[in-house]
Structure 1
């Protein structure tokens, strides 16, 4: 019926979720007229003249999982399902962290139009067993959180800052008491522009992305003091140094399971005042080799450019697969070839995948439209640290 799709592998028959397996060979030479912007998914376009292709794209827009490579079936497996467990405002939700100790998901509502002129002194906690959602406020309040990781039973959170009162910060939060401690708020007296995300290596050292996103959305009013920068922070001494600078925008950040490769997506395609996005801007995922000290990045290469939209939150699974929030869904990328193996979709329309957090055989996706829970994943996703 759908000439551009491969049949599903036999072991995938009878799945609860709706799958499709795209035939790249069949799509290689299309008949008639066709067009789409790089900022929308292939199945979101209606600008095709071939009725069979149009019918296939319409079907793809109804699916939960789209595979481009047979390895995607082995990673996700036939038992996986995706549920839209929280339907929230169509604005950005960010900084998801799965807290194993409490079986809760921490995440935030980020930027305008929510909060008070886009400023948020509170965060969300989702009980993943009951899907009960509540707002929390740390002590003292954490303003404008943007990224989060869990390490050694604590939450480490980065912020955009708060107006002219505080610059971007790295804070530590106790998930039980909600006590918050500021760990870092300057680079040798230079304020940060506003953090976007962070990663932590197996030794507990940090990589922080300092971006212009908070300034661009009016969350902080002072002009960024530098171009967007990735900082390395030594956990024991808090020595800090820039390790990568871009004239685009530093966004997510993730590290390989062995701690030897760093992945950084550039979202320089976004411009500000007004907020617009251009397919001509930077939107590639770069990979860097990490020195034994962790303090020098080398051998920068473009690993992947998204099929559509841009990569936002990035996480690397236990087996090294790269999961990226990419608009219509979460793309799963091969760390060697950079090919997109498949997409976990969040339903199309106004829904938009921004970032994600791993459990053992599950993950949560947050973005515009709320929270999605992907259960029953075949491979174990969470890492050792």
Structure 2
């Protein structure tokens, strides 16, 4: 009898200790968020109890290995949440109706990369690529989740970056014999190359691209094709480029600050360009101490200046970047999307996708509130939060951009060609 009382007392003490640990590491979320799967971290978890070990580069905070049962319990609670608030202000970013949905899944044994998410408002679809296949893109309806394939003509290889403007998708290919930028009719899949060289030298592996409101395309050109896809040795320095779609002029904006430039985003007023440096994603550099940073540059629409580090990613590497209407930076990483205040580099919170790698993200423009689509290794996600994203080209100059981009490759699509291609068969498929 006394033994049972003693054991009960020990269990009560243990539960009390766990409660104390939780109180010191997890904050109180307002009652208005009772329907949201969210946790609030106390004091940014500046102090963790006892000893712990992080397993590898792509591990997140909640993957820490520890013999402390109370800490293990807390980390498990964090892992199960859809949203992790590192700062109280993140609750305002997501709102009281925040929701994370997995709308398409891929086989567990399929080691593929899903990239280049492009939202098409006319059809309410998200286009995205599987970089391991040649010749087609996925298209998934944002609301019904119905999927189909769009076959590209000619077949595009290793589509890795994408953006949408004026009825067309603009895609970057980072594999194959000729890498470059392509303008794609999203109805027919007809693709026209608009750039494939720098004064006779092959581009390395165009990775991501965006437009500014002066009709320039900004894109990154790291050596991923050389490292991963077996293309020839690089003929150019790794760089961020600016391509003038009116004149065809191409120039390097920076090729010294960044090791492996990847995702791009402009601030809403286009005064700053954000660039992801994903050097830690390369096999020879994928260790815990490798570079995985986001940089900011002042952007004058003709030059970059004043480079500064604004964020160091916790896990994996920074890949795709997008910006909210209020100027916050969304960073695709291993395990989710980090939400950053670029004015001070603070991590406000995380959209949490444990066990998955988010390669890129895209805002759904035109819907009420904020809807975001995430392209992951295991799933395509739909995230509904209070904060929406901005249209590429910034919050200014949209009409100017529309007129300018309409001049790109004017000879590419005659009326006859459009009529001929619009009846191409689109293969419907579901995973």
- Normalising by structure 2, report the TM-score: 0.81
Between Structure 1 and Structure 2, the one with more helix by share is 2
Give 1:209 deviation, angstroms.
Answer: 0.4
1:9 to 30, 34, 37: 30
Task: Measure how far apart 1:267 and its partner are.
Answer: 1.4
2:104 is the counterpart of 1:82? no
Match of 1:229 in 2: 239
Shift in Å at residue 9 of structure 1?
2.4
Q: Secondary structure at the match of 1:60?
A: helix
Q: Determine whether 1:23 maps to 2:42.
A: yes
User: How far does the alpha carbon of each residue in 1:341-365 deviate from its partner, in whole angstroms, 9 at most, with x for none?
Assistant: 111012x22x211110101420110
Distance in 2 (CA, whole Å) between partners of 1:250 and 1:152 is: 27
The alignment status of 1:239 with 2:249, answered yes or no, reads yes
Alignment-derived partner of residue 163 in structure 2? 149
Q: 2 CA distance for matches of 1:290 and 1:104?
A: 31
**Residue in structure 1 matched with residue 60 of structure 2 by the alignment:** 41
Assess if the C-alpha contact under 8 Å between 2:103 and 2:145 holds in 1: yes
Worse overlay, 27-36 or 54-63: 27-36
Task: Find the aligned partners of 2:186 and 2:89 in 1 and give their Cα distance.
Answer: 36
Distance in 2 of aligned mates of 1:223 and 1:256: 34
Please state whether the residue corresponding to 1:54 is helix, strand or coil: helix
1:258-269 pair list within 5 angstroms: 258-269=269-280
CA distance in 2 between partners of 1:32 and 1:60 (Å): 18
Q: Does 1:277 align with 2:303?
A: no
SS in 1 for 2:96: coil
Q: Unpaired runs of 5+ in structure 1?
A: none
1:382 equivalent in structure 2: 390
CA contact (8 A) 1:330 1:343 kept: yes
| Residue 333 of structure 1, aligned match among 340, 346, 353 | 340
Task: Say if 1:122 and 1:138, in contact at 8 Å, map to a contact too.
Answer: yes
Partner of 2:408: none
| In 2: Cα distance, 1:312 partner to 1:301 partner | 18
Number of the residue aligned with 1:353: 358
Residue 334 of structure 2 aligns to a residue in which SS? coil
> Counterpart of 2:7?
none
Cα deviations by residue, 1:274-310 (Å, 9 ceiling, x for unpaired): x66122222110000012xx12111000000012221
Q: How does 1:49-128 map to 2 (within 5 A)?
A: 49-88=67-106, 89-111=110-132, 115=133, 120-128=134-142
Q: Is the 8 A contact 2:150 2:188 kept in 1?
A: no
Paired position in structure 1 for 2:313: 306
Post-superposition CA distance 1:7-37 (Å, at most 9, x none): 112432x22x311001126x32333112225
Q: Is the 8 A contact 1:199 1:253 kept in 2?
A: yes
Aligned to 1:364: 373
Deviation at residue 53 of structure 1 after TM alignment? 1.5
**Map 1:162-201 → 2, pairs under 5 A:** 162=176, 164=177, 166=178, 168-201=179-212
- How far apart, CA to CA, are the structure 1 residues paired with 2:291 and 2:373? 27
Aligned counterpart, 2:426: none
Match status 1:211 vs 2:222? yes
Structure 2: how far apart are the matches of 1:345 and 1:333? 14
Q: 1:298 to 1:382 in 2, by over 3 A?
A: closer
Give the alignment's Cα RMSD to 1 decimal. Answer: 1.7
C-alpha deviations, 1:105-146, integer Å up to 9, x for none?
0000113xxx3xxxx221111122221112221222222211
Aligned to 1:321: 328
Cross-structure match for 1:131: 145
Q: For 1:139 and 1:38, how far apart are their aligned partners in 2? A: 38
The 2-side partners of 1:173 and 1:270 are apart by 28
For residue 176 of structure 1, report the CA deviation from its aligned partner: 2.3
Task: Give the number of the structure whose alpha-carbon radius of gyration is greater.
Answer: 2
Contact 1:359/1:382 (<8 A) preserved:
no
The count of aligned residue pairs is 363
Contact 1:121 1:144 in 2 (8 A): no
Tell me the CA shift for residue 38 of structure 1. Answer: 5.1
